Amino acid sequence: MNSDSEFVQRADTAVYETEEPVLYGVADGIATLTLNRPTVNNAQNSQMTYALDDAFRRAVNDDLVKVIVLRANGKHFSAGHDIGTPGRDINKSFERAHLWWDHTNKPGGEYLYAREQEVYLGMCRRWRELPKPTIAMVQGACIAGGLML
Categorize the per-residue pLDDT at 89 as very low, low, confident or very high, splitting at 50, 70 and 90: low
Query: Is position 16 within any domain?
Result: no
Selected residue with higher pLDDT from 111 and 22: 22
Residue 102: is its pLDDT beyond 60? no
pLDDT tens digits along 25-64:
999 999 999 999 999 999 988 889 889 999 999 999 999 9
Number of domains in the chain: 1
Categorize the per-residue pLDDT at 130 as very low, low, confident or very high, splitting at 50, 70 and 90: very high
Which of helix, strand or coil describes residue 127?
helix
Query: Is position 10 within any domain?
Result: no
Query: Is position 4 within any domain?
Result: no
Comparing C-alpha atoms, which of 117, 121, 38 is closest to residue 72? 38
Categorize the per-residue pLDDT at 12 as very low, low, confident or very high, splitting at 50, 70 and 90: low
Instruction: Confirm if 1 and 99 have CB atoms less than 8 A apart.
Output: no
pLDDT of residue 145: 80
Selected residue with higher pLDDT from 147 and 23: 23
Query: Is position 13 within any domain?
Result: no
Q: How many residues does the chain have?
A: 149
Distance CA 25, CA 149 (A): 18
Tell me the mean pLDDT in the region 84-95: 62
Tell me the mean pLDDT in the region 106-110: 70
Supply the CATH number for residue 108's domain.
3.90.226.10
Query: Is position 64 within any domain?
Result: yes
Categorize the per-residue pLDDT at 125 as very low, low, confident or very high, splitting at 50, 70 and 90: confident
Mean pLDDT of the chain: 82
Query: Is position 3 within any domain?
Result: no
Q: What is the CA radius of gyration of the chain?
A: 16
User: Maximum distance among all alpha carbons in the chain?
Assistant: 55
Query: Is position 48 within any domain?
Result: yes
Tell me the mean pLDDT in the region 142-146: 86
Query: Is position 143 within any domain?
Result: yes
Domain that residue 41 falls in:
22-148
